[in-house]
A and B are shown apart, each in its own frame.
Chain A
Amino acid sequence: IAGITQAPTSQILAAGRRMTLRCTQDMRHNAMYWYRQDLGLGLRLIHYSNTAGTTGKGEVPDGYSVSRANTDDFPLTLASAVPSQTSVYFCASSQLGGSTGELFFGEGSRLTVL
């Protein structure tokens, strides 16, 4: 089934550890995004990429980094995790220039930093 795959689905890690959340899409979309979702808040954009080889900062980029070496993969790295990064992380993709530009989301990665 075509779509977006995120891994891991859930993870608990100690503060200070490095963590990479993986995201792969097979829809050949040009744009990819990382959001975090916290209770009572809307989805907040962390980083985005409009095309392979380029990335941009979203609303809450501090403490996170991304890379976009190819069209399909868009990993998110927490260099040194802190408890405030406890959240549900969603990867999404879209075809910029498409009819609606709707986002397709992965199933999410629930991260707990202790």
Chain B
Amino acid sequence: GQNIDQPTEMTATEGAIVQINCTYQTSGFNGLFWYQQHAGEAPTFLSYNVLDGLEEKGRFSSFLSRSKGYSYLLLKELQMKDSASYLCAAADSNYQLIWGAGTKLIIKP
């Protein structure tokens, strides 16, 4: 079956670095997405990886290992506004997204 696993909740300190991991199993693979979702709001796109390696975009970076079925989202210089849920989603062979349940990130001052 198809499955996405990510931690339910993580806590980090303002100014620090946090890594949110995601493992996936899909029928075929056409890329890995990360979305951010603030409470009561819609998800917004953060990153897309289809090739192995690290993609850096400002304070946020995303890594993919296709052979391991593994990705992580790295958030640097954490700010209070980064408190949100982070959703991992993998695109299968039909380009349909399989979603994880999301990781709630709590930032403490």
Contact = CB atoms under 8 A, between A and B. Distances in A.
Could you tell me the dominant secondary structure of chain B's interface residues?
A: strand
Interface string A39-56: 011111100100000000
Chain B's interface size range is 20 to 34
Nearest to A33: B97
Chain A binding site: helix, strand, loop or mixed by DSSP?
A: loop
B87 A102 contact: no
B101 A42 contact: yes
Contacts of A102: 33, 45, 48
A100 B31 contact: yes
Interface of B: 4, 30-31, 33, 35, 41-45, 48, 87, 89, 91, 95-102
Interface of A: 40-45, 48, 58, 90, 96, 100-108
A100 B51 CA distance: 12
